[in-house]
Protein backbone atom coordinates (compact mmCIF):
# COMPACT_ATOMS: atom_id res chain seq x y z
CA UNK A 1 0.00 0.00 0.00
CA UNK A 2 2.49 2.56 -1.15
CA UNK A 3 4.09 4.35 -4.04
CA UNK A 4 7.70 3.21 -3.95
CA UNK A 5 8.81 4.73 -7.26
CA UNK A 6 7.93 8.24 -8.39
CA UNK A 7 7.40 8.81 -12.11
CA UNK A 8 7.78 12.25 -13.68
CA UNK A 9 5.16 13.80 -15.95
CA UNK A 10 7.65 14.05 -18.84
CA UNK A 11 8.68 10.39 -18.59
CA UNK A 12 5.09 9.22 -18.44
CA UNK A 13 4.01 11.47 -21.33
CA UNK A 14 6.68 9.85 -23.52
CA UNK A 15 5.81 6.38 -22.22
CA UNK A 16 2.09 6.77 -23.05
CA UNK A 17 2.95 8.14 -26.49
CA UNK A 18 5.11 5.07 -27.21
CA UNK A 19 1.96 2.96 -26.79
CA UNK A 20 -0.01 5.12 -29.24
CA UNK A 21 -2.48 5.98 -26.48
CA UNK A 22 -2.60 9.73 -27.15
CA UNK A 23 -2.10 12.43 -24.53
CA UNK A 24 -1.67 11.93 -20.83
CA UNK A 25 -4.63 13.43 -18.96
CA UNK A 26 -3.84 12.49 -15.36
CA UNK A 27 -2.14 9.89 -13.17
CA UNK A 28 -2.47 9.10 -9.51
CA UNK A 29 -0.39 6.77 -7.38
CA UNK A 30 -2.82 4.27 -5.87
CA UNK A 31 -2.60 2.75 -2.44
CA UNK A 32 -2.99 -0.86 -3.61
CA UNK A 33 -0.69 -3.79 -3.92
CA UNK A 34 1.90 -4.60 -1.30
CA UNK A 35 4.60 -5.58 -3.74
CA UNK A 36 4.61 -3.07 -6.59
CA UNK A 37 3.98 0.59 -7.39
CA UNK A 38 0.71 1.22 -9.22
CA UNK A 39 -0.63 4.33 -10.94
CA UNK A 40 -4.12 4.86 -12.29
CA UNK A 41 -3.58 6.58 -15.63
CA UNK A 42 -6.14 8.51 -17.68
CA UNK A 43 -5.05 9.11 -21.30
CA UNK A 44 -7.06 10.24 -24.29
CA UNK A 45 -6.79 6.61 -25.42
CA UNK A 46 -8.38 5.13 -22.29
CA UNK A 47 -7.90 4.31 -18.62
CA UNK A 48 -5.03 2.07 -17.52
CA UNK A 49 -3.09 0.76 -14.57
CA UNK A 50 0.65 1.35 -14.83
CA UNK A 51 2.65 -1.09 -12.72
CA UNK A 52 6.30 -0.59 -11.81
CA UNK A 53 7.73 -3.89 -10.58
CA UNK A 54 9.67 -3.50 -7.35
CA UNK A 55 12.45 -5.68 -6.01
CA UNK A 56 10.36 -8.59 -4.73
CA UNK A 57 9.23 -9.56 -8.24
CA UNK A 58 11.65 -11.68 -10.27
CA UNK A 59 11.82 -10.09 -13.76
CA UNK A 60 12.16 -13.60 -15.25
CA UNK A 61 8.58 -14.29 -14.17
CA UNK A 62 7.04 -11.22 -15.83
CA UNK A 63 6.51 -12.78 -19.30
CA UNK A 64 4.55 -15.58 -17.60
CA UNK A 65 2.29 -13.22 -15.61
CA UNK A 66 1.65 -10.78 -18.46
CA UNK A 67 1.35 -13.51 -21.10
CA UNK A 68 -1.18 -15.33 -18.92
CA UNK A 69 -3.41 -12.25 -18.64
CA UNK A 70 -3.27 -11.83 -22.41
CA UNK A 71 -4.06 -15.54 -22.92
CA UNK A 72 -7.00 -15.44 -20.49
CA UNK A 73 -8.49 -12.23 -21.93
CA UNK A 74 -8.39 -13.73 -25.43
CA UNK A 75 -10.41 -16.67 -24.05
CA UNK A 76 -13.15 -14.60 -22.45
CA UNK A 77 -11.85 -14.27 -18.88
CA UNK A 78 -12.37 -10.72 -17.63
CA UNK A 79 -9.01 -9.53 -16.32
CA UNK A 80 -6.63 -6.64 -17.01
CA UNK A 81 -5.21 -6.82 -20.55
CA UNK A 82 -1.54 -5.90 -20.95
CA UNK A 83 -1.17 -3.30 -23.68
CA UNK A 84 1.50 -3.73 -26.36
CA UNK A 85 3.56 -0.70 -27.37
CA UNK A 86 4.17 0.42 -30.96
CA UNK A 87 6.94 -2.23 -31.24
CA UNK A 88 4.75 -5.02 -29.88
CA UNK A 89 6.42 -5.09 -26.47
CA UNK A 90 4.36 -5.95 -23.43
CA UNK A 91 7.16 -5.16 -20.96
CA UNK A 92 9.13 -1.92 -20.84
CA UNK A 93 11.15 0.21 -18.45
CA UNK A 94 10.14 3.36 -16.59
CA UNK A 95 11.68 5.15 -13.61
CA UNK A 96 14.41 2.53 -13.45
CA UNK A 97 11.88 -0.29 -13.04
CA UNK A 98 10.38 -2.93 -15.28
CA UNK A 99 6.97 -1.54 -16.19
CA UNK A 100 3.77 -2.67 -17.84
CA UNK A 101 0.52 -0.97 -18.73
CA UNK A 102 -2.73 -2.91 -18.41
CA UNK A 103 -6.33 -1.93 -19.12
CA UNK A 104 -8.23 -0.65 -16.09
CA UNK A 105 -10.85 -3.07 -14.83
CA UNK A 106 -13.91 -1.48 -13.20
CA UNK A 107 -15.21 -3.16 -10.07
CA UNK A 108 -15.08 -3.15 -6.30
CA UNK A 109 -13.79 -5.98 -4.12
CA UNK A 110 -16.21 -7.21 -1.48
CA UNK A 111 -15.16 -6.21 2.06
CA UNK A 112 -17.78 -8.63 3.44
CA UNK A 113 -18.09 -11.54 0.99
CA UNK A 114 -21.50 -13.25 0.91
CA UNK A 115 -22.49 -16.73 -0.27
CA UNK A 116 -23.61 -15.13 -3.55
CA UNK A 117 -20.13 -13.70 -4.02
CA UNK A 118 -18.68 -17.17 -3.32
CA UNK A 119 -20.93 -18.78 -5.93
CA UNK A 120 -19.74 -16.30 -8.55
CA UNK A 121 -16.17 -16.75 -7.42
CA UNK A 122 -16.38 -20.54 -7.84
CA UNK A 123 -17.70 -20.19 -11.38
CA UNK A 124 -15.05 -17.65 -12.35
CA UNK A 125 -12.24 -19.74 -10.88
CA UNK A 126 -13.31 -22.85 -12.82
CA UNK A 127 -13.64 -20.83 -16.03
CA UNK A 128 -10.17 -19.41 -15.47
CA UNK A 129 -8.74 -22.92 -15.00
CA UNK A 130 -10.34 -24.07 -18.25
CA UNK A 131 -9.33 -20.96 -20.19
CA UNK A 132 -5.71 -21.21 -19.03
CA UNK A 133 -5.46 -24.58 -20.74
CA UNK A 134 -3.03 -24.35 -23.63
CA UNK A 135 -1.04 -21.42 -22.23
CA UNK A 136 2.47 -22.03 -23.52
CA UNK A 137 4.58 -20.91 -20.56
CA UNK A 138 4.95 -22.63 -17.22
CA UNK A 139 6.01 -21.42 -13.79
CA UNK A 140 6.92 -23.58 -10.80
CA UNK A 141 4.96 -22.81 -7.61
CA UNK A 142 7.73 -21.38 -5.46
CA UNK A 143 5.29 -21.26 -2.55
CA UNK A 144 4.09 -24.86 -3.04
CA UNK A 145 4.90 -27.95 -0.94
CA UNK A 146 8.60 -28.02 -1.85
CA UNK A 147 9.02 -24.37 -0.89
CA UNK A 148 7.46 -24.52 2.56
CA UNK A 149 10.24 -26.18 4.56
CA UNK A 150 13.05 -23.95 3.18
CA UNK A 151 10.92 -20.88 3.97
CA UNK A 152 10.15 -22.21 7.46
CA UNK A 153 13.83 -22.82 8.18
CA UNK A 154 14.54 -19.13 7.66
CA UNK A 155 12.63 -18.21 10.81
CA UNK A 156 11.98 -21.48 12.71
CA UNK A 157 14.20 -20.46 15.63
CA UNK A 158 12.19 -17.24 16.16
CA UNK A 159 8.79 -18.85 15.60
CA UNK A 160 7.64 -18.81 19.22
CA UNK A 161 8.07 -15.01 19.33
CA UNK A 162 4.85 -14.93 17.32
CA UNK A 163 2.91 -17.44 19.39
CA UNK A 164 4.18 -19.87 22.06
CA UNK A 165 3.97 -23.40 20.65
CA UNK A 166 3.92 -22.30 17.01
CA UNK A 167 7.28 -23.99 16.34
CA UNK A 168 5.94 -27.39 17.40
CA UNK A 169 2.67 -26.90 15.51
CA UNK A 170 4.37 -26.07 12.19
CA UNK A 171 6.98 -28.85 12.59
CA UNK A 172 4.32 -31.50 13.02
CA UNK A 173 2.04 -30.12 10.32
CA UNK A 174 4.83 -29.84 7.73
CA UNK A 175 5.74 -33.51 8.32
CA UNK A 176 2.09 -34.53 7.86
CA UNK A 177 1.77 -32.48 4.67
CA UNK A 178 4.96 -33.94 3.23
CA UNK A 179 3.72 -37.51 3.71
CA UNK A 180 0.05 -36.98 2.86
CA UNK A 181 0.24 -34.42 0.01
CA UNK A 182 -1.66 -35.69 -3.06
CA UNK A 183 0.33 -36.44 -6.18
CA UNK A 184 -1.95 -37.36 -9.08
CA UNK A 185 -4.59 -34.62 -9.20
CA UNK A 186 -5.40 -32.61 -12.35
CA UNK A 187 -2.88 -29.81 -12.83
CA UNK A 188 -2.83 -26.54 -14.72
CA UNK A 189 -2.31 -22.84 -14.25
CA UNK A 190 -3.67 -21.58 -10.91
CA UNK A 191 -4.12 -18.02 -9.61
CA UNK A 192 -2.78 -19.08 -6.17
CA UNK A 193 -3.77 -15.83 -4.41
CA UNK A 194 -7.46 -15.29 -5.15
CA UNK A 195 -8.38 -13.36 -2.02
CA UNK A 196 -11.43 -11.03 -2.00
CA UNK A 197 -9.28 -8.01 -2.87
CA UNK A 198 -8.39 -9.67 -6.17
CA UNK A 199 -11.98 -10.28 -7.30
CA UNK A 200 -14.07 -7.35 -8.49
CA UNK A 201 -17.85 -7.03 -8.49
CA UNK A 202 -20.24 -4.41 -9.81
CA UNK A 203 -23.67 -4.59 -8.13
CA UNK A 204 -23.07 -8.22 -7.05
CA UNK A 205 -21.98 -9.38 -10.51
CA UNK A 206 -18.39 -10.51 -10.79
CA UNK A 207 -16.62 -8.08 -13.14
CA UNK A 208 -13.16 -9.63 -13.21
CA UNK A 209 -10.06 -11.08 -11.59
CA UNK A 210 -6.83 -9.19 -10.98
CA UNK A 211 -3.30 -9.63 -9.62
CA UNK A 212 -1.85 -12.71 -11.30
CA UNK A 213 1.57 -12.19 -9.71
CA UNK A 214 1.50 -15.47 -7.79
CA UNK A 215 0.05 -17.50 -10.70
CA UNK A 216 1.89 -20.77 -11.39
CA UNK A 217 1.43 -24.40 -12.36
CA UNK A 218 0.01 -26.62 -9.64
CA UNK A 219 -2.99 -28.78 -8.79
CA UNK A 220 -6.21 -27.01 -9.80
CA UNK A 221 -8.00 -28.09 -6.62
CA UNK A 222 -5.32 -26.35 -4.56
CA UNK A 223 -6.64 -23.03 -5.95
CA UNK A 224 -10.07 -23.90 -4.49
CA UNK A 225 -8.38 -24.69 -1.18
CA UNK A 226 -6.83 -21.20 -1.19
CA UNK A 227 -10.27 -19.68 -1.82
CA UNK A 228 -11.84 -21.75 1.00
CA UNK A 229 -9.28 -20.22 3.36
CA UNK A 230 -9.63 -16.72 1.96
CA UNK A 231 -13.42 -16.43 1.53
CA UNK A 232 -15.27 -18.84 3.81
CA UNK A 233 -14.14 -18.00 7.34
CA UNK A 234 -15.86 -15.35 9.44
CA UNK A 235 -13.96 -12.75 11.45
CA UNK A 236 -14.44 -14.93 14.58
CA UNK A 237 -12.64 -17.75 12.65
CA UNK A 238 -15.83 -19.83 12.31
CA UNK A 239 -16.09 -21.68 9.01
CA UNK A 240 -19.21 -20.60 7.10
CA UNK A 241 -20.41 -23.79 5.41
CA UNK A 242 -23.01 -21.88 3.36
CA UNK A 243 -20.19 -19.98 1.70
CA UNK A 244 -18.16 -23.17 1.19
CA UNK A 245 -21.15 -24.88 -0.40
CA UNK A 246 -21.71 -21.92 -2.73
CA UNK A 247 -18.05 -21.80 -3.75
CA UNK A 248 -17.95 -25.53 -4.55
CA UNK A 249 -21.33 -25.41 -6.32
CA UNK A 250 -20.17 -22.57 -8.55
CA UNK A 251 -16.93 -24.36 -9.37
CA UNK A 252 -18.62 -27.72 -10.08
CA UNK A 253 -21.11 -26.03 -12.42
CA UNK A 254 -18.25 -25.14 -14.75
CA UNK A 255 -15.68 -27.86 -14.06
CA UNK A 256 -16.93 -30.83 -11.99
CA UNK A 257 -14.37 -31.94 -9.41
CA UNK A 258 -13.17 -35.55 -9.62
CA UNK A 259 -13.65 -37.90 -6.67
CA UNK A 260 -9.90 -37.77 -6.00
CA UNK A 261 -9.98 -33.95 -5.88
CA UNK A 262 -12.90 -34.04 -3.45
CA UNK A 263 -11.15 -36.57 -1.22
CA UNK A 264 -8.03 -34.40 -1.16
CA UNK A 265 -9.81 -31.17 -0.13
CA UNK A 266 -9.04 -31.35 3.64
CA UNK A 267 -5.31 -31.89 3.09
CA UNK A 268 -5.20 -29.26 0.31
CA UNK A 269 -6.93 -26.80 2.64
CA UNK A 270 -4.33 -27.58 5.33
CA UNK A 271 -1.59 -26.93 2.77
CA UNK A 272 -3.10 -23.63 1.69
CA UNK A 273 -3.42 -22.52 5.33
CA UNK A 274 0.23 -23.52 5.87
CA UNK A 275 1.35 -21.46 2.85
CA UNK A 276 -0.20 -18.26 4.24
CA UNK A 277 0.81 -19.06 7.81
CA UNK A 278 4.43 -19.36 6.66
CA UNK A 279 4.59 -16.20 4.55
CA UNK A 280 2.72 -14.13 7.14
CA UNK A 281 4.96 -15.44 9.94
CA UNK A 282 8.07 -14.63 7.93
CA UNK A 283 6.78 -11.12 7.12
CA UNK A 284 5.67 -10.62 10.74
CA UNK A 285 9.20 -11.24 11.98
CA UNK A 286 10.88 -9.32 9.18
CA UNK A 287 8.72 -6.21 8.74
CA UNK A 288 9.54 -3.29 11.03
CA UNK A 289 6.55 -2.50 13.25
CA UNK A 290 6.23 1.00 11.83
CA UNK A 291 6.77 0.10 8.15
CA UNK A 292 4.65 1.48 5.32
CA UNK A 293 3.03 -1.92 4.85
CA UNK A 294 0.51 -3.22 7.38
CA UNK A 295 1.59 -6.55 8.88
CA UNK A 296 -1.03 -9.27 8.56
CA UNK A 297 -1.53 -11.38 11.64
CA UNK A 298 -0.34 -15.00 11.15
CA UNK A 299 -2.70 -16.13 13.91
CA UNK A 300 -5.67 -16.10 11.46
CA UNK A 301 -4.09 -19.07 9.75
CA UNK A 302 -3.37 -21.03 12.92
CA UNK A 303 -7.12 -20.98 13.56
CA UNK A 304 -7.96 -21.99 9.99
CA UNK A 305 -5.39 -24.77 10.13
CA UNK A 306 -7.01 -26.22 13.25
CA UNK A 307 -10.37 -26.33 11.46
CA UNK A 308 -8.86 -28.16 8.49
CA UNK A 309 -7.04 -30.66 10.74
CA UNK A 310 -10.43 -31.72 12.06
CA UNK A 311 -12.07 -31.93 8.62
CA UNK A 312 -12.40 -35.48 7.28
CA UNK A 313 -14.05 -34.99 3.89
CA UNK A 314 -15.26 -32.37 1.42
CA UNK A 315 -18.64 -32.50 3.17
CA UNK A 316 -17.04 -30.51 6.01
CA UNK A 317 -16.71 -27.72 3.41
CA UNK A 318 -20.24 -28.07 2.09
CA UNK A 319 -19.36 -30.27 -0.90
CA UNK A 320 -20.21 -33.81 -1.97
CA UNK A 321 -17.95 -36.47 -3.45
CA UNK A 322 -19.34 -37.55 -6.84
CA UNK A 323 -20.75 -41.08 -6.90
Among 34, 58, 63, 108, binds a second copy (CB under 8 A): 108
Structural element, H or E, at residue 309? helix 299-310
How many Å apart are CA 235 and CA 273, to the nearest integer?
A: 16
Site for a second copy in 191-220 (CB under 8 A): 200, 202-203
Residues 6+ apart with CB under 8 A from 110: 117, 196, 199, 201
Q: Which stretch binds a second copy (CB under 8 A): 5-13, 124-132, 160-168, 223-231?
A: 5-13
Least Å from the CB of residue 283 to a second copy: 17
Least Å from the CB of residue 119 to a second copy: 18
Least Å from the CB of residue 109 to a second copy: 7
* Cα–Cα separations (whole angstroms), residue 202 to 108, 110, 206, 247, 310: 6, 10, 6, 19, 36
Least Å from the CB of residue 147 to a second copy: 31
Site for a second copy in 20-59 (CB under 8 A): 23-32, 40, 42
How many Å apart are CA 105 and CA 207, to the nearest integer?
A: 8
Task: Please tell me whether residue 1 binds a second copy under the rule CB under 8 A.
Answer: yes
Nearer to a second copy, 1 or 137 (CB): 1
Task: Please tell me whether residue 80 binds a second copy under the rule CB under 8 A.
Answer: no
Least Å from the CB of residue 42 to a second copy: 6
CB atoms within 10 A of CB 118: 28
* Total residues at interface with a second copy (CB under 8 A): 36
Task: Please tell me whether residue 297 binds a second copy under the rule CB under 8 A.
Answer: no
Nearer to a second copy, 105 or 169 (CB): 105
Instruction: Tell me how many degrees the CA angle 311-317-319 measures, rounded to the nearest 5.
Output: 120
Contact 278, 169 (CB under 8 A): no
Q: Provide the 3-class DSSP secondary structure of residue 165.
A: coil
Least Å from the CB of residue 31 to a second copy: 4
Tell me the H-state helices in 133-201.
145-153, 166-180
Tell me the per-residue interface mask from 267 to 296 with a second copy, x by CB under 8 A, - otherwise.
---------------------x-xxx----
Structural element, H or E, at residue 265? helix 259-286
* Cα–Cα separations (whole angstroms), residue 181 to 173, 185, 270, 297: 11, 10, 10, 26
Least Å from the CB of residue 278 to a second copy: 27
Binding site for a second copy (CB under 8 A): 1-3, 8-10, 12-13, 23-32, 40, 42, 104-112, 200, 202-203, 288, 290-292
Amino acid sequence: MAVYTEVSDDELTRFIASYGLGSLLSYKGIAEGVENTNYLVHATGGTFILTLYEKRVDPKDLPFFLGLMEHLQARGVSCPLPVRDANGNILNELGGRHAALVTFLEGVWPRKPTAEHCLELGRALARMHIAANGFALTRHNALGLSGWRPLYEKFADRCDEILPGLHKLIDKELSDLETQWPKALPEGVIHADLFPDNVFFISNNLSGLIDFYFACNDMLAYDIAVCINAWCFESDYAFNVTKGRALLKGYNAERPLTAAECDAMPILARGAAMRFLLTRSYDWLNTPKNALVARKDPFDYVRRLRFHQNATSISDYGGETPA
